[in-house]
């Protein structure tokens, strides 16, 4: 009897642990798991369970157009995205979330490629809020909005994902992710590279979608603009936009919005020929708030400046706008009324002028100034500043730190690689 008591107790504990932790169903193409196809695991699993997918390329049949049927299941790869691939065969989505899935529904660690759907080339979300993390969305195409992911009424959470080479039709939006109709998505630590769309080649927040993007990289995206925000109050924090090109702006197009940007970097973005525009930012009937941002080496191939205003009232505090390639720091669409407000801003070295035109009267006001920000290595894109810079907190008692990045070099300067610089931004 004495020996049975601890044995019975141990059995009960193990049973409880299995209940709390859920059951894991292994999917293995070689036949060593519960089933060789992913949907079979999703069908049998219940809320709290895990479907674990072994390495391989999963395509066709019950490996695409996957549905969680509203259940809080974790679908994850065993070995990560590099070796676990969902291939849509050019005609199918990977996932559909339209049964009220919550943040407990998780997709973790897959490459999702060659998918084709509309809207949402790879992922369609309607009235759901799944969590998608550590995934690589590559070369997916949508005939509607959302080359990789489409969200409608879906406050999804997207973490640590990479979006490369995704696209939509030229008259649609969101080459990487399209957030529409109150989709207050949270996008964190994601990279968007080489995507294209008619507007918002990487990311859009529209129609009341007050989402957030934090610690994200937007690089070499093309066609319309990189980010598009309309009728929303989105926010961007510690994001980098580099080397993007678009019709009206290489960076962000804002319409009817009070979008906010904090500690963001706009570097070497270009508004292409054919339209007046802003190399980094186009404000159309918009009143964005920008705090501690750095703009450098943005350009417009036609008329415009780093920031372009059309019935706009942007507010900039503790920002640097430097080295615009052809236009002034801030410009406006002819015949429109604009009211940008700058304080503690350093405007310097812009080809079309610094404190000129639309902001001419603000140079001596609100602790604004014009001085070399002394970037550590501007040709390499290192926009940290020397310890002698007028933008350091120590050298600017009235404003504190000006720009997105703090001191990164003194004398002498040790040249940093782009990889090192990128890691410091993160």
Does 9 score more than 90 pLDDT?
A: no
**Residues in CB range of 305: below 8 A, 6 or more apart:** 278, 279, 324, 327, 328, 329, 330, 331, 350, 352
Using pLDDT thresholds of 50, 70 and 90, give the confidence band for residue 301: confident
Residue 416, CA distances (Å) to 13, 79, 380 in order: 55, 33, 8
pLDDT tens profile 196-209: 999 999 999 999 99
Per the structure, the complete domain to which residue 108 belongs is given by: 72-372+417-425
Tell me, yes or no, whether 49 lies in a domain.
Answer: no
Q: How far is CA 143 from the centre of its chain?
A: 21
Q: Model confidence at 249, in pLDDT bands (50, 70, 90)?
A: very high
3-state secondary structure of 409: strand
Q: pLDDT value at position 145? A: 97
Least confident residue range of 11-25, 210-224, 330-344? 11-25
User: Which tokens in the block code for residue 175?
Assistant: 């080459």
Instruction: With respect to residue 408, please indicate whether it lies within any of the assigned structural domains.
Output: no
In this predicted structure, the answer to whether residue 326 has a pLDDT above a threshold of 80 is: yes
Among 11-15, 109-113, 235-239, 407-411, whose mean pLDDT is lowest? 11-15
pLDDT of 423 strictly over 50: yes
Tell me the β-bridge partners of 299: 270
Amino acid 224: pLDDT:
87
- Please count the structural domains in the chain: 1
pLDDT of residue 321: 98
In CATH, what number is assigned to the domain containing residue 259? 2.160.20
Q: Is residue 48 part of a domain?
A: no
- Give the pLDDT confidence of 177-198 residue by residue, as tens digits: 999 999 999 999 999 999 999 9
Please tell me the predicted confidence (pLDDT) of residue 103.
98
Within a domain: 169: yes
Q: How confident is the model at residue 320 (pLDDT cuts 50, 70, 90)?
A: very high
Nearest to 96 by CA among 56, 151, 27: 151
**Domain annotation covers residue 46:** no
Say whether pLDDT at 15 is over 80: no
- In three-state secondary structure terms, 184 is coil
The token pair at 221 is: 């995206």
Task: Give the pLDDT of residue 78.
Answer: 98
Is residue 404 within 8 A of residue 293, CB to CB? The reply is yes
Please say whether the beta carbons of 263 and 293 come within 8 A: yes
Categorize the per-residue pLDDT at 277 as very low, low, confident or very high, splitting at 50, 70 and 90. confident
């Amino acid at each position: 009897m004495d020996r049975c008591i601890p044995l019975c107790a141990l059995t009960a504990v193990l049973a409880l642990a299995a209940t709390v932790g859920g059951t894991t169903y292994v999917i293995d193409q070689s036949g060593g798991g519960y089933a060789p196809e992913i949907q079979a695991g999703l069908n049998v699993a219940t809320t709290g369970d895990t479907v674990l997918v072994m390495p391989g390329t999963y395509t066709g049949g019950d490996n695409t157009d996957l549905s969680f049927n509203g259940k809080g299941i974790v679908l994850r790869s065993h070995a990560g995205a590099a070796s676990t691939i969902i291939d849509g065969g050019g005609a199918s989505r990977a996932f559909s979330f339209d049964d009220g899935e919550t943040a407990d529904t998780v997709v973790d660690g897959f490459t999702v490629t060659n998918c084709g759907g509309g809207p949402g080339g790879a992922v369609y979300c309607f009235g759901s809020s799944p969590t998608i993390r550590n995934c690589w969305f590559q070369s997916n195409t949508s005939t509607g909005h959302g080359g990789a992911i489409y969200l409608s009424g879906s406050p999804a959470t997207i973490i640590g994902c990479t979006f490369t080479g995704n696209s939509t039709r030229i008259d649609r939006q969101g080459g990487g992710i399209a957030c529409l109709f109150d989709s207050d998505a949270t996008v964190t630590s994601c990279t968007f590279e080489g995507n294209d769309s008619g507007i918002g080649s990487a990311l859009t927040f529209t129609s009341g979608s007050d989402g957030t993007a934090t610690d994200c990289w937007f690089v070499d995206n093309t066609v319309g603009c990189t980010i598009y925000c309309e009728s929303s109050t989105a926010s961007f924090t510690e994001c980098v936009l580099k080397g993007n090109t678009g019709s009206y702006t290489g960076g962000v197009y804002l319409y009817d919005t009070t979008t906010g940007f904090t500690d963001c970097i706009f570097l070497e973005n270009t508004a292409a020929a054919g339209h007046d525009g802003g190399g980094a930012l186009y404000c159309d009937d918009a009143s964005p708030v920008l705090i501690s941002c750095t703009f450098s080496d943005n350009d417009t191939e036609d008329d415009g400046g780093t920031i372009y205003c059309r019935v706009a009232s942007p507010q900039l505090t503790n920002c640097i706008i430097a080295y615009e390639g052809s236009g002034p720091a801030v410009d406006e669409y002819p015949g429109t009324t604009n009211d940008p407000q700058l304080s503690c801003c350093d405007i310097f070295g812009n080809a079309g002028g610094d404190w000129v035109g639309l902001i001419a009267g603000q140079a001596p006001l609100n602790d604004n100034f014009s001085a070399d920000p002394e970037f550590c290595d501007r040709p390499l894109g290192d926009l940290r500043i020397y310890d002698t810079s007028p933008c350091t907190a120590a050298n600017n008692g009235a404003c504190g730190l000006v720009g997105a990045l703090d001191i990164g070099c003194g004398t002498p300067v040790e040249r940093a690689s782009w990889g090192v610089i990128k890691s410091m931004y993160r």
